[in-house]
Structure 1
């Protein structure tokens, strides 16, 4: 009897592993606005739902890490420093994924000014922040339950100038 149960578990596990799952990618991270205590950036995430029914997004978790830059006479080398997290957060219940379609999900990331000032060494060289954005989209799949789509995106954010802030 236990062998039959094990075979049934293995069969279901194989079918679930072979089943199409939603896929996501970060398409852009850009400056959004300035507030009295922080700068807000907006990450645009494209999520493809292969199912014929809408899927709820339970939450989005994010971690925004700065990168260190090491200047050299001929080149600039970047290495992500995992201990320099400059922002993190959780967005509960951000909506649903459209059925058999691609949904754009906006993820606002707020970076306090106090953190930006501590990054002055990196910012001073080229007025940008080299970063890594780690996202976890938690979706509720029927039968399977909560499923996390992990994403990681590296890039460079130009800091806004006075003209872009007040334009």
Structure 2
């Protein structure tokens, strides 16, 4: 039993020391207005330290403003991370029009919203299994103007 515990501790220690992919949100910006929603695009850079590509299981996101969630979603099977390289992922966040209208009433003065974007990037690491890279960014983004709606 003691030998088994030592083996478990050794494996746990070695797995803990393994390099893991890292990620950062580089940009969140207004993309376009469509019939159902206003779309924002978040760009995420993910660095893969391994010499093989790594499959991404899913990306989940939560977009908050004024301490309430205004959009959330899951992007299933968005592809893979390039081997020994950085991969740019684009996360499309769709905010329904009725939410934007209620936000616009609260912030008419400067026509922008303070937001918090939480992203969970779930990847499938060899030996370890599913691993979530949590990301969070707070910032300010413009609401669409009338000219944005007719472009």
Q: Same fold (TM over 0.5)?
A: yes
User: Which residue, out of 70, 74, 83, partners 1:90?
Assistant: 74
Equivalent residue for 1:135? Answer: 119
Alignment RMSD (CA, Å): 1.1
Provide TM-score, normalisation by structure 2: 0.96
Shift of 1:33: 1.1
Gaps of 5+ in 1: 68-80
Give unpaired runs (5+ residues) of structure 2.
none
Contact 2:55 2:81 in 1 (8 A): yes
Aligned counterparts of 2:146 and 2:93: Cα–Cα separation in 1: 20
After TM superposition, where is structure 1 displaced by more than 6 Å over at least 4 residues in a row?
Answer: none
Secondary structure at 1:116 match in 2: helix
- How big is the shift at 1:161? 1.9
Q: Distance in 1 between matches of 2:141 and 2:58?
A: 25
* C-alpha distance in structure 2 between counterparts of 1:124 and 1:91, whole Å: 32
- TM-score under structure 1 normalisation? 0.87
The answer for the alignment partner of 2:128 in structure 1 is 144
Aligned residues: 151
Aligned to 2:51: 52
Residue 137 (structure 1) shift: 0.3
User: Residue 148 of structure 1: CA displacement?
Assistant: 0.3
